[in-house]
Structure formats: structure tokens, C-alpha cells
Amino acid sequence: MSSLTGKVALVTGAGRGIGRAIAMELARAGASVCINDIDGEAAEESQKACGAYQSDTCVAVYDVSSPAGAAQAVELCVRVLGGLDILVNNAGVLGRYCLLENFTEADIDAIFGVNVRGCLNMVRAAVPVMKGKGWGRILNAASMYGIEPQVGRGIYSASKAAVIALTRVLAAELAPYGITVNAYAPGTIATAMSRESLQSRAEEKVRQVPLRRAGVPEDVAGLVAFLASDRASYVTGAVVPIDGGALSVQSPWRAWEAVSGVGNSCCGQWAGQEDR
């Protein structure tokens, strides 16, 4: 476990799923955590969960897609917890599954408003605090779809590609101030946001993952805690997939055919089996 004792972290979208797991992992590593989510009740539940590891926490209920909301979240974190060392831009909107031509302006505004503008708003609010300390960690939620776009998730894919570009530019711009900027790119992770997709296309999804399982939020949280620590002090501008190997090769299920020594029928066999 990388020690984050004495550090203050702000995690957006921390009311559930990956965000809650990240907040808990940072608290377990010793960081004081500000939990931001527009769902106040969910944020309070996350605060209770973090309380098992770290009592020095607070809740912020602000909309990060608004520059004013982002500024208020940072101000509250600094005022209550005494500073800000680690910013995790985890808040995200998946949006509808449809072709690009069928997305509405409201769809586009909602997805880009949180995924891209929300990330940028939080960075602009947090960076002056980090510059003053000469140390900082910024972790942005990308996605495997930002690396390899998916039909039906075109706007979401574009928003996450934008996050990746922002991450790389910010890494260069903020390096002179001792601030590292990295992105984590989850694949299929079992959360409330992905539940519908997993339920309707579980076999197809699992076939695309060499480790033949969906990820869990804790898989992401462990990586984020590492990147937030001094052990990752020479890592910046990186985009790290957490996808069970889904982006490693095309048609990953063919590896299982080769290893098992059987034909195409194996694809349907192992995809539905219980993970062991």
C-alpha cells in the first residue's frame, strides 16, 4: 500500500461505483478525502464507507459541469480539509446507445458538459492550489472507448478521446510545477452505470476480455491510488487501460481456442461460465 498520509484528495462522481471505490482506497491509504457528487445522499453513503479508514472527510454537492460549481467544490475542500493535493476527475456521463446521427443537442451537451468541461473546470479550479505547494496529482477518467471508439457510443467515445488529449497536454504544461497528470481508461467494469449493457450483452462483452471477466471498481481504485502516490512520481501523461486485456489484441477469444486446443465452439462455452 502506497502511503498517502497527510495528503488531501478530491474525488468527483464519488457517490457510487468506481468513484466510491477510489475514495475508499485513497482513504485507506491515509488521505483525507472530499467526496463530490450531485447526489447528496449517495455522497454521504460514500463518506460513511470512507469513515472505516479515515475520519477526516467531507462531502461536496456541486455540479462540475459548471465552472462555479467546480470552484465551490475546491474551495470547500481547501477550507474544510486544509488543502488539495490529489484531484480525481471521475464524474462521467455515458449517455444513450445510438448512432451519431440520432444524438440530440441535449445528449451532446450532457455528455461533453460533464466528461470534458467538468474535467477542465475542476483542473482550472484546483491547479492554483497545487502550484502553490509545488506538488500535485491529477487523475482523469478516460475510457477504453476513448482509445478504440465504439459504434453506438460515438459521443461518449469522442468525449473520452478529448479527456486523453487534455491529459497529455496538461502533463506537459504542469510538469514544471511538480504536478503529474495521468488518465485511467476502464474497460467493462461492473457498476450501476454499465449494468444494463452487461445484462443485455454479457456474453459478447466477456468474449472481448482475455481475462474473461468484467472488472470491478476496486480494480480501478488500486491503480488510481498508485498513480496518486510518490511511487509514481516519474509517471505523467500516461493513459493506462484497465480492461482485462481487451485492447491488447483483436479477437482475443482466439487465444482461448489456441490454448484449449478446440475449435470455435469454445467461445460460447467459456464466455458463460462462472469466473474462478
Location of C-alpha cell 514544471 = 176
Location of C-alpha cell 471477466 = 213
Residues 237, 243, 249, CA angle at the centre, nearest 5°?
95
Whether 179 contacts 134, CB under 8 Å: no
Annotated active-site residue in 53, 97, 145, 156: 156
Whether 148 contacts 131, CB under 8 Å: no
For residue 239, the surrounding DSSP H or E stretch is strand 239-242
Phi/psi at 252 (5° precision): -60, -20
- Reply yes or no on whether 184 is catalytic: no
C-alpha cell belonging to residue 262: 478446440
Rg over alpha carbons for the chain, rounded to the nearest Å, is 19
**Rounded-to-integer distance, Cα 166 and Cα 182, Å:** 10
- Which residues are known catalytic residues? 156
